[in-house]
Amino acid sequence: MSYFDAASAAPLHPVARQALLAALDDGWADPSRLYREGRKARMLLDAAREAAADAVGCRPDELTFTPSGTRAVHAGVAGALAGRRRIGRHLIVSAVEHSSVLHSAEVFEAEGGEVTRVSVARTGAVEAESYASALRPGTALACLQSANHEVGTVQPVAAVAEVCRAAGVPLLVDAAQSLGWGRVEDGWSLLTASAHKWGGPSGVGLLVVRKGVRFAAQGASDERESGRAPGFENQPAIVAAAASLRAVRAEAEQEAVRLRELTARIRARVAELVPDVEVVGDAERRLPGIVTFSCLYVDGETLLHELDREGFSVSSGSSCTSSTLTPSHVLKAMGVLSEGNVRVSLPTGAAEADVERFLEVLPGVVAGVREKLGVTMPTAAVQEDALVVDALGKRCPIPVIELAKVIGTVPVGGRVRVLSDDEAARLDIPAWCEMRGQEYVGEEKTEKGTAYLVRRIS
């Protein structure tokens, strides 16, 4: 089995396993106690904090261990907003942040705060000028990921941090995907990360709050972890997380070169081997191991199941499946195709032979899924000056398939009106038009759904 989903959870690093087993023997006691076992546990915890702080580029007393990366984000956002509540009640996030950041923003909004969601380019990157435009006197906090979880695009953290610093606004950076590859660009005020993203054990997150940043921890607290993560620390996991972070950093430079070559190969070959595919994300400013592409006329869930049967563990940035019926918020914000989406995220040590086998298998799998999804000619009728395709009740990617089948039956300059009640069609029909050289005219609300209007150009 070829595991290609390291962006969700990287395999446990051998150093993490060794450190975890050793810490289970020596680091189980309460580190706040003064007897021998407690002192030994405290030494291990302090050493782990120093190692993690060195990797991040901060002081040890600025770093808190949390029960997860998500908890680190929630605590960081809430604490920074509370600490600066006298400044104002305005929060800035990008439209492609991890769900933990967006959920924190939703909670803040529900409590009466204001949230500005900064748009991104088609590559998934923000512009520093967009953050500058969003800043105002009442802005309490800005948030920006160091790199995107779904498409791997690296964000301009230093440039955004500079405009935030000039306005006196702290910047929280979600560094979960990038920290294993290197330090985040300077200028940030708060940082979060998660150990299972770099090969550490799950259940360990990092929250870093720079000295001088106003911060008020929310909820019940105790004396542990500066009051920012109450409860007994999972010391063996923390020790393993710090040890593995140091280990992957030592390998990062050399491994990044190798993985960049493999992902560049996937980006190029997928576009050559699979018809009607869109490779998404920035081609240059991206993480070493992530490549994402979307296939027209393919159901993403079915595609993942078929790849799993062929021995490949991959994920999808698209939620356009029978379970949720909504497209990925990242792909939606980027304005790219969401149907048939596949994210390949190679772990450290991924074999070139496995990548080659994936490229051999993929075209046949996609073709097979498309064949299974073949539908009869859609029901169409001429209404006013447009051919109407009734795709109501049919889910992604059927509305696009039916549009593709009839577009050639209308004259050049003629229009097709696609009726759909699937939210994903709002993203995928315009994306299809761009890929196929047709004109997307717009949408209109109807009694049972939405009508998407397309004009045939060629």
List residues with catalytic annotation: 320
Classify burial at 149, counting beta carbons within 10 Å of its beta carbon; exposed 0-12, middle 13-18, buried 19 or more.
Answer: buried
| 19's tokens | 């450190």
Q: Which of 141, 254, 156, 152 is nearest to 197 (CA)?
A: 152
